Amino acid sequence: MKRFAEGRESVTDEERSGRPATSRTEENVANAPQIVRENHRLTVRSIREQVNIDRETVRKILTEDIDMRKVCAKMVPKDLTEEQKQRRVTICQDLLERQDNILVRVITGDETWVYQYELKRSGKAHNRRLPIPHDPQKNPSVQIKSQNNVADFFFIRGIVHYEFVPTGQTVNQVYYLEVLERLR
């Protein structure tokens, strides 16, 4: 108020010496994609150390300015470039044109929960033979009797191998290596 009483008319800050108010400069925004391209596994902290700006500014540059997001431990663009899209199309066309029909030899795996339900029917529902939805949350007359985790492997013609995961077994790389040995 004092400055305006003394005749100041502008509300913007005047130029002053010292460090700029933000590190989110055009130069830093331009350097970030190159740094990430060189090593896409860099953390925000390691990028911060390379360009010597604060972590939050690095995060804003990556997510807001160059439109990237973190997937697992990698920073990846949200949208594919035209070059990346064309490369995917070319690879898919090459696979489709192969004479050896590679898709017949591809085996993929998954794990899923299998539930065994027990229906608690009242006399009325039993007599009318009404279909009861198998969803315990929507229908209190349905109870889960057991649930099992199943690791299954299949290819274009159907299931090749499946195993019930033992109760209490942690599904990790060691377990999967054992299953893959049995699959082979």
Structural domain includes residue 84: no
pLDDT in tens, 114-163: 887 777 665 554 444 545 555 555 555 667 777 788 888 888 888 889 99
Sequence-distant (6+) residues with CB within 8 A of 106 are 155, 156
pTM: 0.37
Are residue 70 and residue 107 in the same domain, yes or no?
A: no
Alpha helices per DSSP H over 39-140: 44-51, 55-60, 82-97, 123-128
Asked if the structure places residue 65 within a domain, the reply is yes
Domain identity same for 109 and 164: yes
Q: Which of 57, 2, 69 is nearest to 28 (CA)?
A: 57
Q: Are residues 63 and 122 in the same domain?
A: no
38-64 per-position pLDDT tens digit: 877 778 888 888 888 888 888 888 888
Q: Is residue 110 located within the same domain as residue 175? A: yes
Q: Greater confidence, 18 or 31?
A: 31
56 and 117 co-located in one domain: no
Whose tokens are 């929960």? That residue is: 113
Structural domains in the chain (count): 2
Q: What is the CATH number of the domain that holds 62?
A: 1.10.10
Within-domain flag for 25: yes
Q: Residue 118 has which token pair?
A: 């027990």
Q: Which domain holds residue 161?
A: 103-183
pLDDT for 68-114, tens place per residue?
A: 776 665 656 667 788 988 998 998 888 878 877 777 788 888 888 88
Residue 22: CB partners within 8 Å, gap ≥ 6? 57
Q: Let me know if residue 95 belongs to a domain.
A: no
DSSP three-state, residue 91: helix
Residue 94 maps to a domain = no
Q: Give which of 174, 152, 175, 150 is closest to 164, Cα–Cα.
A: 150
Q: Is residue 173 located within the same domain as residue 117?
A: yes
